[in-house]
Amino acid sequence: MSDLAISSLPSVSPDESSDTRVRLAFGRPQVLGLVFVVIGALIAFAIAPNLIDEQRTFAFEPPPDPLTFSFQPQTFVAVIGWIWIAAGVLSLAPLGITVPRRFTTIVQSVAGLTALPLVVALGLALSSSPMTNVTNLLDESLFLATPFILGSMTGLWCERSGIVNIGIEGQMLAAAGIGYMSYAVIAEASGTTWLWLGILIAVLAGGVTALLHALLTVTFQINQIVSGVVINLLALGLTGFLRSQVIVPSGFSSGQSTSDIAIPQLSHIPIVGPTLFTGRPIGFMAYGIVFLTWLVLYRTPWGLRVRACGEHPHAAETVGINVVKMRYQAVVVGGLIAGLGGAWFSMESQSGFEDNMTNSAGFIALAALIIGKWNPWGALAASILFGFTRALGSRLQFLKVSIGDFGIPSEFFQALPFMVTLVVVAGALGRAIAPAAEGQPYRPSK
């Protein structure tokens, strides 16, 4: 470039360069910091002063002599409000230039976790009940998180191989209906051995619906979203037919479900033992599946091949990987996991099948997968969060929370998990990066 061309370029003063860096530094963490400041101020100065001054209590063990923590709602809520304000200020000062991004993320995450005790404390303060058992709430949260965990692992296997699967809802629903129908017809919905046979049939039903999804998307290369919608509608119609024409006429609309099991010694640990080490078998399997998914996908050559097919399928083909075969295998593995999730609904959470009993759990599981950034442990954490919101909605409804003379309707609490899903997914989008070849049809070059 000539000297004339160089001299014609606009000069940037040091002050202007600094201002540019400041403007560029005002990104997502700073926007979130502003949100923390505004909401924190609202909590500390508008909500907290208007709460009752009577003490409320958190119980951490079952009666008759539980460990308790008593608090004054005004002070407790105000402290959390100030924590949010502090987190927001740290995120903004000075607009992210001198504060490391990792530090900002940690501060915001810690502040965000205080939202859980905040909501419980507010619910207790706005009810006539003086106490609530937090341990039972956490226990119920882990229980209700089970289908979200299994559904998110289903999506992880599919999408890591490059196949979008919005048919998780239909796969779980079909498995729930077919599994329980088999249990009712074959064994009259009784007997532990037959119950586990029904669970096995549910798992296989999930695998069959996944095989259908793989056939449509991998072999016939139908749009993957359309294929998922078809599976959802097919499962809804099929299970409704099976319930009205097979299950109800059999006279065994309800029966035996799986029983609680306790891990020896560990289940006797005070406070956490009954919550973490006592539960139902499919619930324990869900956490085992998360570990196995991480182990296989990230620590084995086969898992590496699966992930390669979801990132660069044609590059994988050049090193001898059969992409079609790998995608079939991954989708079917995910379907088997979805089948176990369906069995949880009809043979563990309750013993019986109702129309559309999965209640959008498959879609919430997809949200957990996105929030977890297509990582098993992140998806697990997001699934537990959604399980907590569902349990919290039930708890607040039980406490009969009201604002003044206005009783909050039950429909609000039923919609709480979906509202949390929208808010959290909106915050995660833009930071979560899907596998590069996700949703793209693959045509072998040979």
pLDDT values of the chain reduced to their tens digit, one per residue, 446 residues: 444 444 444 444 444 444 444 444 566 777 888 888 999 999 999 999 989 888 999 988 777 777 889 999 999 999 999 999 998 888 776 544 455 667 777 888 888 888 888 988 998 888 888 888 888 889 999 999 999 999 999 999 999 999 999 999 999 999 999 999 999 999 988 889 999 999 999 999 999 999 999 999 999 999 999 999 999 999 999 999 999 999 999 989 988 899 999 888 888 888 788 888 889 999 999 999 999 999 999 999 999 999 999 999 999 999 999 999 999 999 999 999 999 999 999 999 998 999 999 989 999 999 999 989 999 999 999 999 999 988 988 888 888 888 777 777 777 777 877 777 777 766 655 566 889 999 988 888 76
Q: How many residues does the chain have?
A: 446
Calpha distance 84→370 (Å, rounded) = 25
* DSSP one-letter code for 215: I
| Dihedrals phi, psi of 321, to nearest 5 degrees | -85, 130
CB 33 within 8 A of CB 88: yes
Helix spans in 243-300 (H): 248-250, 272-276, 281-299
Q: Looking at domain 139-428, which CATH architecture does it have?
A: Orthogonal Bundle (1.10)
| Residue 314, both tokens | 């044609």
| Residue 285, both tokens | 């399997």
pTM given for the model: 0.88
| Single-letter residue type at 118 | L
For 319, counting Cβ atoms within 10 Å of its Cβ (0-12 exposed, 13-18 middle, 19+ buried), the class is exposed
Name the residue among 369, 362, 355, 380 with its Cα closest to residue 425: 369
Domain residues of the chain, as ranges?
24-125, 139-428
3-class DSSP assignment, residue 416: helix
